[in-house]
Structure 1
Amino acid sequence: MLMRTELSYDAPPADVFAMLSDPAFRERVCEAQHAASYDVSVDVAGAGLTVRVETEQNTSGLPSIAKRFVGETTTAIMTETWKDGSGGAVDISAPGKPTKVTGTVALREAGTGTIQTVELDAKVKVPLVGGKLEQLLVDTLQSAYAKEQQVGTAWLAGER
């Protein structure tokens, strides 16, 4: 199932890229998303970087059909591999779960601000209910990116 979201920031692309490159920002996002635990790493390589965020989330709010597959908590590993400040690849996995999310992230100038575009393809390989679970996964990802934008807006306004 395809997902596209755009996050708008009132800052130039270089400032948004610097924010996305900061482990403290990524940790703040994990806290805002109510992660039970998290581990963030950022490895810079030339003009690019790799961001890895591993989170454990409580699944108490999920429908029972989803909880059968994910349990009481679930671990997600999100990796962004940026070629430079303009964009890169996104990979989200859940070890031991039949899910896979891949896609791209890009930054582009929009007036005096920046638009961060995230395009993902979410797959859940479960017979009969895979489509419903994919929709639930996409809804969860949309919510997570909305929370990231809230934190990012505050971060760029100096709330650190």
Structure 2
Amino acid sequence: MKFRHELAYDAPPAAVFEMLADPEFRQAACAAQDVISAEVTLEREGNGFTLSVDQEQRTDDLPSFARTFAGASTRAIQREHWADTTGGTLQIDTPGKPSTLKGTITLRPEGSGTVEIVELEIKVKVPLIAGKLEKLLAEKVAAGMDAEHGVGIDYLAGR
């Protein structure tokens, strides 16, 4: 399943990049998503950075058929590699689960602001209900991005 989600920020791309490269921002974004736990590792590399967010997520909001596969909680490891300030790659691994999420993140200037564009290929390898599970994963990723966006708006406003 193809996934695309856009988030608009009232700040130039350089400021949005610096926000995304701040481990404290990433930790606050995890807290806004009400995860059980999160470990953020971020290393600056030249003009970019490498990020890993290893988090334990709640599954009590999932339909029962999805909880059968996810369990009482689920682990997600988000990995980003930014070669420069314009964008990077994104991969979300779910250890022990039959799913893959891979794609790109792009920061595009728009007027005086920035649009963050996330495009992913979401695949679940479960016969018969793969489509339903892919749709649920897409909804969870979008909800996480929206929570991070809320934290980002406050961050960029200095709050």
Match of 1:61 in 2: 61
Query: Which letter maps to 2:156?
Result: L
Separation of aligned partners in 2, 1:61 and 1:10: 32
Answer yes or no: is 1:51 the counterpart of 2:51.
yes
Amino acid at match of 1:101: L
* 1:84 CA displacement: 0.3
- State the identity %: 48
SS in 1 for 2:27: helix
Runs of 4 or more off by more than 3 Å in structure 1?
none
> What residue in structure 1 maps to residue 4 of structure 2?
4
Shift of 1:108: 1.2
How far is the alpha carbon of 1:127 from its aligned partner? Answer: 0.6
SS at match of 2:39: strand
SS of residue matched to 2:35: coil
* Residue of structure 2 equivalent to 1:116: 116
Matched position secondary structure for 2:128: coil
- Residues 50-77 of structure 1: CA distance to partner in whole angstroms, max 9, x if unpaired? 1111110111111111111110000000
Q: 5+ unaligned residues in a row in structure 1: which ranges?
A: none
Deviations 1:90-146 (A, max 9, x none): 000100000110000010111111111000111110011111100000011111111
Secondary structure of the structure 2 residue equivalent to 1:108: strand
Alpha-carbon distance in structure 2 between the residues aligned to 1:148 and 1:3: 17
Q: How does 1:136-155 map to 2 (within 5 A)?
A: 136-155=136-155
* CA displacement, residues 4-60 of structure 1 (integer Å, 9 cap, x when unaligned): 011100111110000000000000000000010000011111111111111101111
Q: What's the secondary structure of 1:147's corresponding residue?
A: helix
SS of 2:11's equivalent in the other structure is: coil
Cα distance between partner residues in 2 of 1:40 and 1:68? 28
Q: How many residues matched?
A: 159
Superposed CA RMSD in Å reads 0.6
SS in 1 for 2:61: coil
- TM-score (ref. length: structure 2): 0.98
Q: TM-score, normalised by structure 1?
A: 0.98
Letter in 2 for 1:38: A
Indicate the residue corresponding to 1:84 in structure 2: 84
**2:34 aligned counterpart, secondary structure:** coil
